[in-house]
C-alpha cells in the first residue's frame, strides 16, 4: 500500500485541479480518516451516507440516479443543495466495467471562465440557471420544485468559480436526476445551448476521462473542475466511496 498524505494530495489538487494515485488499499475507516485529514467535513444535505463517506455503489433501485447507474452530466458538487465543498475525494473500492462505462470525467472550469468562448456560449454564466430536481433519493430537501441558482460565484479567495449542473442528455441512459434551463429561456432552447456547451467542454484541452481500477484514489478541487460520469453498464460492478471536504 502506498503511503498517502492527505495534505500532499490536496496541494496537488489545488495546483492542477485534481490529484490521482493508484494502488491505495483503503477500507472504509481508512478512507474516512483520509477524508478528515483533507479538511473539515462539508455540510451533508444528501439522502444517504455522510460527508465523510457516501457510497456510490451503482444501486439498481429505480429511484436512484446519483447513487445509481445513470451517466451524470458535468457539474460542481453542492450546487443543488446550497453547499460548496472545496475537495471531493473518490476511492475505488470495487469495479468491473467494460471499456468506456462508469468513468469519471473531469474538466477545468477555466475552460469556461477564462477562455474566449464561441459567441453563443459567452452569455451562459450571465443569467441564473433554473433546476428541477427529480432524484429525491439523493436530494430529499430540494426535489420537485424549481430552484434558481447563479452559475458563477466568488470564492473565499476572491476568484470566480462555477456552481453549475449541466442537463442530462437524451442519448445517455435515463433516468435523469434533474433538468435545467437558462432563466428567460425555455427548456428546449436551453437544451441546444447546453449541448453546445457540453461539447465545447468535452473538446477542451483539460477534459479527462478516468477509467477506474480498484485502489484508485482521486481528489478533485471542486472550485476548479467540473466532473461527471459515463453510464454504468447494466449488471456490472462499480463501488466508489465519496467524501466532501471544506478547507
Ligand atoms: O460516480 C461518479 O463518478 C461521480 C459521482 C458524483 O459526481 C457525485 O457523487 O457527486
Ligand atoms: Fe458530483
Strands (E), the chain: 18-21, 40-41, 54-56, 72-75, 87-96, 104-108, 129-133, 146-149, 152-154, 160-162, 178-182, 208-210, 217-221, 225-229, 237-246
pLDDT in tens, 232-245: 999 999 999 999 99
CA geometry: angle 139, 66, 25, nearest 5 deg: 120
Query: Would you say the pTM of this structure is higher than 0.85?
Result: yes
**Second-level CATH architecture of 6-246:** 4-Layer Sandwich (3.60)
**Separation of 12 CA from ligand 2 center, angstroms?**
19
Ligand located closest to 69 CA: 1
Identify whether the C-beta of residue 168 lies closer than 8 Å to the C-beta of residue 178: yes
**pLDDT value of residue 2:** 56
* Secondary structure class of 94 (helix, strand, coil): strand
Each residue of 142-167: pLDDT tens digit? Answer: 999 999 999 999 877 788 999 999 99
Task: Return the residue matching grid coordinates 433546476.
Answer: 131
CB 227 less than 6 A from any atom of ligand 1: yes
Ligand 1 centroid distance, CA of 119 (Å) = 31
The domain limits of the chain are: 6-246
Cβ of 105 closer than 6 Å to ligand 1, yes or no, is: no
Amino acid at each position: 500500500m502506498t503511503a498517502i498524505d492527505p495534505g500532499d494530495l490536496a496541494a496537488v489538487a489545488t495546483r492542477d485541479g485534481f490529484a490521482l494515485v493508484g494502488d491505495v488499499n483503503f477500507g472504509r475507516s481508512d478512507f474516512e480518516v483520509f477524508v478528515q485529514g483533507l479538511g473539515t467535513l462539508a455540510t451533508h444535505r444528501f439522502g444517504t451516507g455522510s460527508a465523510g463517506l457516501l457510497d456510490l455503489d451503482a444501486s439498481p433501485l429505480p429511484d436512484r440516479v446519483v447513487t445509481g447507474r445513470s451517466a451524470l452530466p458535468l457539474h460542481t458538487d453542492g450546487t443543488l443543495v446550497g453547499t460548496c465543498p472545496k475537495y471531493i475525494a473518490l476511492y475505488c473500492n470495487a469495479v468491473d466495467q467494460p471499456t468506456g462505462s462508469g468513468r469519471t470525467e473531469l474538466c477545468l472550469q477555466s475552460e469556461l471562465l477564462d477562455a474566449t468562448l464561441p459567441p453563443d456560449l459567452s452569455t451562459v454564466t450571465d443569467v441564473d440557471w433554473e433546476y428541477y430536481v427529480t432524484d429525491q433519493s439523493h436530494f430529499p430537501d430540494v426535489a420537485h420544485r424549481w430552484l434558481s441558482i447563479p452559475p458563477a460565484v466568488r470564492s473565499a479567495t476572491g476568484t470566480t468559480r462555477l456552481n453549475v449542473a449541466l442537463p442530462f442528455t437524451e442519448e445517455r441512459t435515463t433516468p435523469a436526476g434533474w433538468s435545467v434551463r437558462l432563466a428567460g429561456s425555455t427548456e428546449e432552447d436551453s437544451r441546444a445551448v447546453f449541448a453546445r456547451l457540453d461539447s465545447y467542454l468535452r473538446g477542451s484541452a483539460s477534459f479527462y476521462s478516468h477509467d477506474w481500477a480498484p485502489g484508485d484514489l482521486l481528489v478533485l478541487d471542486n472550485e476548479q473542475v467540473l466532473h461527471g460520469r459515463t453510464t454504468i453498464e447494466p449488471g456490472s460492478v462499480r463501488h466508489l466511496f465519496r467524501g466532501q471536504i471544506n478547507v
